[in-house]
Amino acid sequence: MKTLNANEIYDKGIFNRYHFNLLFWLFVIIIFDGYDTAIYGAVVPILMEEWSLTPVEAGAIGSYTVMGTVAGAFIFGLMADKIGPKKVTMISVLIFSVFTVLAGFANDPGMFTACRVIAGLGLGGVMPNVVALTTEFAPKKMRNAMIAIVFCGYSVGSMTVALVGKSIIGTMGWQPLYWLAGIMLLIMPFLLKSIPESLQVLARQDKQEKIRTILKKAIPNHSLDDSIIFEKIAVQKQQKSSIGSLFSNKRGFTTLMLWITSFCCFILIYAMNTWLTKLMMQAGYQLDSSLLFLAVLNVGAIIAVIAGGALMEKYGFKKVLVPLYLLGSIALVFISVTENIVLAYVLVAIIGAASIGMHCLMFPLAAQYYPPEMRSTGVGVMMAFGRIGGIVSPTLIGMLMALNLTVQMNFMVIAIAGVIGSIAVLLVQEKYAYYAVSEKQPVQSGKAANS
């Protein structure tokens, strides 16, 4: 009898139809995650008028929603390493879809906020687990690029809000934007069928045939003898998936840097998603034009994710992420003073690249920094901490706007987050990363055991 590691066998595969189908459905999930995250920013000017909300009150609603995502990222990130990222992803999708639809039926701020907070729980659980699934099931030789492409869906979803909102809000009101999230409920059967459970989770549950089925689809030309047993990864007590494990084996400092980077990233994302439309209207643009800026923000993010994924494969993480963060801060300063509409679009695209794009490009770094047995925990806790920035950001910008500061000052305050984030990325200690250590000390591809 031969005992082998299922993940090591899987990594021998090359991209085929099975990978495409799997990554497509993960991409779709992230589209709706991005859609749900951006939807409030598109309707906030309407809600402020309809419900007579002050900027601080409108910002607080955005912050309460993010509190739900913090709790979701923390709870579901830890849960996934125990029961499996697929199960947790499906639960998360169900929660955020149902309560986003219900938010569209709210007729007062209290009901609306309650639905958004509960939807936030689901949203918080989606990202870390889709990261874990994509990292595990993307072909090894193009893993960074595949993770980046899947998370382009976030920007596609955000851009969809801007384009659909431009057409719908004026004629049908803001509610249909929330009802569209119900599409996810219709495609749940396809998600359940197409997305596999983690190979290591299946190995722990001794579901040998399910592992064999996945491997035959991923590597159709690879011969798998029926006598092969797929091993369970032996996880030492101190390495079990817990927050404490993220600080073991000299990973502690970098864990903190990743948290700070994520925090700054969410400051930028939620400042832009919640307030870009309103800030551009304050700068003299009409609602239609301001929604178009939201679309351009996400076009910039998509370009950054596709190009950045390929560049990181070639040059490494830091040489791509640090300059990108700094460019975003520079663009935030100049967007506040430019009067040229074309230049404004270019600068907004750069801001999108350094905020939403940066958020997506962080996933390959964080997911591959930690070993597989703590991957969901590492990414989930990083996002939970990062989303605290998402809690702070909408309310902070709302308070700044309530002070009647200039548009220039508001954008310059936001730009500070990009500078701090770039420093945090620069201080990441890659020599202690799982990908660096595993290259120096490669794991044996299998071991023979006679029975």
Query: pLDDT digits over 92-149, tens only?
Result: 999 999 999 999 999 999 999 999 999 999 988 898 889 889 888 888 777 777 887 8
Identity of residue 214: I
Q: Is 337 a domain residue? A: yes
pLDDT at 443: 40
Q: Is 449 a domain residue? A: no
**Taking a C-beta distance cutoff of 8 angstroms, is the pair 318, 425 a contact?**
yes
pLDDT at 168: 84
Which pairs with CB-CB distance under 8 Å and at least 24 residues apart come from 314-319? 316/430, 317/364, 317/365, 317/425, 317/428, 317/430, 318/425, 318/426, 318/428, 318/430
Residues 6+ apart with CB under 8 A from 48: 54, 55, 58
Residue 55 is part of which domain span?
2-231+240-438
Under the banding of pLDDT at 50, 70 and 90, the label for residue 238 is very low
Q: Is 447 a domain residue? A: no
**Taking a C-beta distance cutoff of 8 angstroms, is the pair 83, 243 a contact?**
no
Q: With a cut of 70, say whether residue 65 has pLDDT above it.
A: yes
pLDDT at 440: 55
Q: With a cut of 80, say whether residue 184 has pLDDT above it.
A: yes
Q: With a cut of 90, say whether residue 338 has pLDDT above it.
A: no
Q: What is the pTM of this model?
A: 0.74
Q: With a cut of 80, say whether residue 362 has pLDDT above it.
A: yes
Q: With a cut of 90, say whether residue 270 has pLDDT above it.
A: no
Q: Is 270 a domain residue? A: yes
Q: Is 146 a domain residue? A: yes
**Taking a C-beta distance cutoff of 8 angstroms, is the pair 247, 255 a contact?**
yes
CATH number of the domain that residue 379 is part of: 1.20.1250.20
Q: With a cut of 50, say whether residue 52 has pLDDT above it.
A: yes
Q: Average pLDDT of the chain?
A: 82
Does residue 42 or residue 102 have the better pLDDT? 102
pLDDT at 56: 82
Domain count for the chain, please give it: 1
Q: Is 444 a domain residue? A: no
Q: Is 406 a domain residue? A: yes
Q: With a cut of 70, say whether residue 280 has pLDDT above it.
A: no
What value does the mean pLDDT take over residues 383-408? 78
Q: With a cut of 70, say whether residue 448 has pLDDT above it.
A: no
Could you give the CA distance from residue 344 to residue 338 in angstroms, rounded to a whole number? 7
Q: Is 448 a domain residue? A: no
Query: pLDDT digits over 144-162, tens only?
Result: 778 878 888 888 888 888 7
Under the banding of pLDDT at 50, 70 and 90, the label for residue 29 is very high
| Of 201, 193, 200, 188, residue with least CA distance to 217 | 193
